[in-house]
Structure 1
Amino acid sequence: MSDVLAALRLPLTSSTFGQQEKDAVTAVMESDMFTMGRHVSEFEAEFASFFGRRHAVMVNSGSSANLVAVAALFYRKDLPLMPGDEVIVPCISWATTFYPLQQYGLKLRFVDIDINTLNIDVEQIERAITPKTRMIVAVSILGNPCRFDKITQICQKYNLILFEDNCESMGAVYDGRYTGTFGLVGTFSTFFSHHISTMEGGLILTDDFEIDCLCRSIRNHGWCRGQPVGSPIFEKKDSDFYEAYRFILPGYNVRPMEIQGAVGKVQLKKLDAFLRTRRGNAAHFVNTFKHDKRFIIQQETGQSSWFCFTMIVNPDAGTDRDAVLSTLKKSNIEYRIITGGNMLRHDVIKYFDYEVVSSKQADIAHDRGFFVGNHPVDIRDEIDYLYKSLKGI
C-alpha cells in the first residue's frame, strides 16, 4: 500500500499535498499578504480556463459557493428568483445543497434517485414541475454525471434555470463536456477530501457576466470594491473615499485566503493525473464487484470522476448491512453514509417548505448503502483486500 495512505488499510481519504504545495504555502507566508489577492485571482482565471467557462469566483467552501450562487439568482435584473418559487431537487445530496434554498425562502420539490446511478431520476422530473417551478438543481453524485441531455431539454422546454451542484464531481464528463458547465451556474468544492484540495475552498463557474459580478460582491460584504470593468450591477460614483466601502447588496464575508489560491494553482495542474489514477482504481473496483449480487454498485453515466466507491446492500440478497459494516470495521476499512443520505430522513427537514414527489429508492440507499474511499494513488491491492474481507458474508 502506498505510504500516502494513512494507517488504516483503506481510509476514506488521503492527502494529495507534496513539496510544491508546501512551497506555495511558504511563499505566501513569507510575502506577508494573506487576504484574498493575486493568487486567488490567478487561480480563478486558471480554473475557468480549465473548464472552458468565462468566469470563476472563489469562496471559502463549496457550501459557500452554493450560498453565494443562490443569492446571486435573487438579485438578477431580469427574472430573479423570488421567495415562494419552487425548485426541483434530488432526495440525496449534501446538506448545503439544500440549505441556501431554504434560507432564501424557496419551496423544494424532492424527486427520487435512480438506485443504479444515485442521481436524480430524470424520468420523474417532468411530473414534479408545477406553474411555480423556476429551477432544477442537478447534483452529480460522488463523481457520476447526471443525465444532462434530458435535464437540459426539460429546462429549455419549461424555461427553467439549471443550477449544478458539482461539488463532488470535479473532472467528470458527460457527452464530451465537463459537469459543472451545463448550468447557468455550477459550484465546486476544493475541500481536503475532494478531487483537488485547497484545504477549504469552493468555486462558482458561470458564463453570465452579471452573475459573476453579483457573486463577487456577495462573497465580499456586498460592496462594490473589486467589481470588473463594465459591471452592470452598479454605477460608479465620483468619490473614491466612499466607493471603497460602498455596499450595494446584502452579502457575506466568505472570501478565501491567498494560501488557498496559491495551493489551488498547484493542485489544478495535477488534476488530470489524479483523475486518471482514480479512474484506473474504479475500473478495478467495478471489475471486482460487477458479478457480486450482494451489492448494487454505482453505474457510471458518461465519464465519472469517481469520488469514491458506493455499495448498496441488495434488498434481494439476504445480506444485512450491519454485518457488512461490522466486517469493514474489523478489517480496518473506513466507510460512511452515501453523501448525506436521504435529506428527508434528517431532523432538519422540519424547517423546510417542501413536497415529496417520490423517495422510495433514496430510502433504500439511505438504509442499505455506504461508500468506501477512492484515492489519487493506486489502491488496487486495497480493493482486492476489500473484496476478500467481504467474501465470507
Structure 2
Amino acid sequence: MDVVYPLATTTWDEAEYAALQKVIESGRFTMGPLVREFEERFAAAMGARRAVMVNSGSSANLIAVAAALVNPDVDLNPGDEVIVPAVSWATTYYPVHQLGLRLRFVDVDRDTLNIDTALVAEAITERTKAILAVNLLGNPADLPALRALAEAHGLVLIEDNCESLGATLDGRHTGTFGLAGTYSAFFSHHISTMEGGLVTTDDEYTYQAAVSLRAHGWTRELPADNLIHPKSGDAFDDLFRFVLPGYNVRPLEMSGALGIEQLAKLPALIAGRRENGREFVRLFGDRDDLTIQRENGESSWFGFAMVLEGRLGGRRAELARALAAAGIEARPVVAGNFTRNPVMRHLDAIVPDTLPVSDDIHENGLFVGNHHYPIPRQLELLATVVDGL
C-alpha cells in the first residue's frame, strides 16, 4: 500500500538547495560564519541570550548536561540524581548516565503525556540535584511549576525541547524556562538542517562551556576574556589548549546555512501545524475509545498521540495493521515506558515499583504525523480507519 499519510515530510524548497550550493562553492564545510549567524538568529527567535549549534539534538542534550556539570555556579556532580519522565526518547536518558549521574524516573500525566509535577515533588530526595523536563510531541510541560520546584529545592532545571520547537507557554518559548534548553533539527522535526541540534541558555558560563565542550574542550572559539580559562594571548598556544573534557559534536557549515533558511520559515511552519492540530482535536477530542494529548499552553504539534481505551483498549496492534493497510504511518508514543527497554540493565537508575500511566501509553499509545501543510483529508481517513475497527 502506498503511503498517503506519512509520519514526516520535507520542509525544504529551492532556498535550501541554493544555500547548500553556496556552501559548496565557498569550500568551507565545517562550522564557520553561517553556523554563528544561525546561532544568533535562533537565540533571538527563541528569546534566549545565547545558542550553540551541535550536530544533533541528542548531542545537544549531552552538551547541556555536561555544561551544567562543569558550571561552578551549579550544584551538580557525578553521583547526583536527576529526575526524568518515564516516557521520552533514549537520548534524554543516555547523557545523564554517561556523565555519571543517576536517573530517577517518575510517571507522566495522563492528559498532557508530560512529566507529572506532583510526582516530581514526591521524588525529590537529598541526592536530587536536577530535573530534566521533556516537552513531549510539541506540548509544553508544566514548566512554571517545575521551575518553582527547582528554585524551592535548589535544583537545576534543563529542558529537552527537541520535539517542541515553537511551542509557547505564558507567551514564552519552551526551552527557555531553565538553565538550558535543547532542540533538534533532524529531518522529521519542525525544521531540518539534515542533522543538527542546538542548546539555548541565558547563562554566560553555560554558553561558553557548551562552546568549548562541543569541540574537544579547547579554548579556541572562546573570547579572550572568557569565563572558562584565561587565554595567554599567544595564538599558537590558545588554539590548542584543552580545558574541559569535551567532544567533537560540531555541526557542518551546510547545517548552519540550512538553519538560516529554515528559521525564516518557522512561523509559517508552526502555524500550519497548529491549524492541523485544531482539526485533529475537533475529530478526536471527544471520543470514548481513545484519548488525545491535552494541549498545555500552545503546542507546536510535533505529532498526534492517541491512547486507546474502551472498545479499542488492548487493540493497538490491530489498529496499527489497519492504519498501515490504509497507507497511514504510525509509531509508538516516542519510546513508550522507556524503563521497559532491555538497555535499562546498563543504566544507573531508580525506577518506581509502578508506572501505570507510562505502562498504559506503552501498551495502548501510538501517534501519527503532523505537517506544515493542510492535511484534512488525511485526518478524515484516520478517523474512518479508527471508526471501522
Q: TM-score scaled by structure 2?
A: 0.97
Q: Is the 8 A contact 1:39 1:258 kept in 2?
A: yes
The whole-number CA distance in structure 1 between the counterparts of 2:360 and 2:79 is 30
What residue in structure 1 maps to residue 173 of structure 2?
A: 178
Among 40, 61, 81, which residue is 2:76 paired with? 81
- Residue 24 of structure 2 aligns with which residue? 29
| Letter matched to residue 32 of structure 2 | G
Match of 1:272 in 2: 267
Distance 1:170 1:79 in 2: 26
Matches within 5 A, 1:1-393: 8-314=3-309, 317-318=312-313, 320-357=315-352, 358-393=354-389
In the aligned structure 2, how far is the partner of 1:9 from the partner of 1:389? 13
The whole-number CA distance in structure 2 between the counterparts of 1:276 and 1:219 is 33
CA contact (8 A) 1:88 1:110 kept: yes
Moved over 4 A (4+): 315-319
User: What is the RMSD computed on CA atoms of the aligned residues?
Assistant: 1.3
SS in 1 for 2:181: strand
Question: In the TM superposition, what is the alpha-carbon distance from 1:342 to its structure 2 partner?
Answer: 1.1
Q: Give distance in 2, aligned partners of 1:76 and 1:184.
A: 11
Amino acid at match of 2:37: E
Measured in 2, the distance between the counterparts of 1:348 and 1:40 equals 35
Structure 1 segments unaligned to the other structure (5+ residues): 1-5
Cα separation, 2, equivalents of 1:194 and 1:326 = 25
Tell me the CA shift for residue 230 of structure 1.
2.3
**Cα deviations across residues 291-350 of structure 1 (Å, max 9, x unaligned)?**
221111111111000000001111565561121111101101101111121110111111
Kept after mapping to 2: 8 A contact 1:293/1:317: no
User: Cα–Cα, structure 1 residues 316 and 162, in superposed 2: closer, same or farther, change >3 Å?
Assistant: farther
3-state SS in 1 of match to 2:331: coil
Displacement after TM superposition at 1:38 (Å)? 0.5
The CA deviation at 1:249 is 1.0
The structure-2 alpha-carbon separation of the partners of 1:368 and 1:237, relative to structure 1 and needing over 3 Å to count, comes to same
1:241 CA drift (Å):
1.4
Which amino acid counterpart does residue 123 of structure 1 have in structure 2? Answer: A
Query: Distance between the aligned counterparts of 1:252 and 1:284, measured in 2?
Result: 44
Contact preservation (8 Å) 2:314, 2:364: no
Q: What is the SS of the residue equivalent to 2:157? A: strand
Change (3 A) 1:7 1:325: closer
Deviation at 1:77, TM superposition (A): 2.1
- In 2, distance between residues paired with 1:80 and 1:127? 20
**Aligned mates of 1:317, 1:203 — CA distance in 2:** 39
Amino acid at match of 1:234: H
Secondary structure of the corresponding residue to residue 125 of structure 1: helix
Is the alpha carbon distance of 1:121 and 1:316 closer, same or farther for their aligned partners in structure 2, counting shifts above 3 Å? farther
- Is there any run of 5+ residues in structure 2 with no aligned partner, and where? none
Question: 1:289, CA displacement in angstroms?
Answer: 1.1
Contact 1:187 1:204 in 2 (8 A): yes
| Structure 1 residue 239 displacement after superposition | 2.5
Q: 1: distance between equivalents of 2:388 and 2:135? A: 33
Distance 1:124 1:375 in 2: 33
1:159-212 deviation per Cα after TM superposition (whole angstroms, max 9, x unaligned): 110010000000001111110000100000000010011010000000000011
Verify the 8 A CA contact 1:89 1:136 in the aligned structure 2.
yes
C-alpha distance in structure 1 between counterparts of 2:56 and 2:170, whole Å = 28
CA contact (8 A) 2:224 2:230 kept: no
Q: For 1:240 and 1:319, how far apart are their aligned partners in 2?
A: 64
Give CA deviations for 1:215-240 in whole Å, capped at 9, x if unaligned: 00000011100103421111111422
Structure 1-normalised TM-score? 0.96
Post-superposition shift, 1:81?
1.8
Aligned to 1:3: none
Alpha-carbon separation, structure 2, partners of 1:215 and 1:137? 17
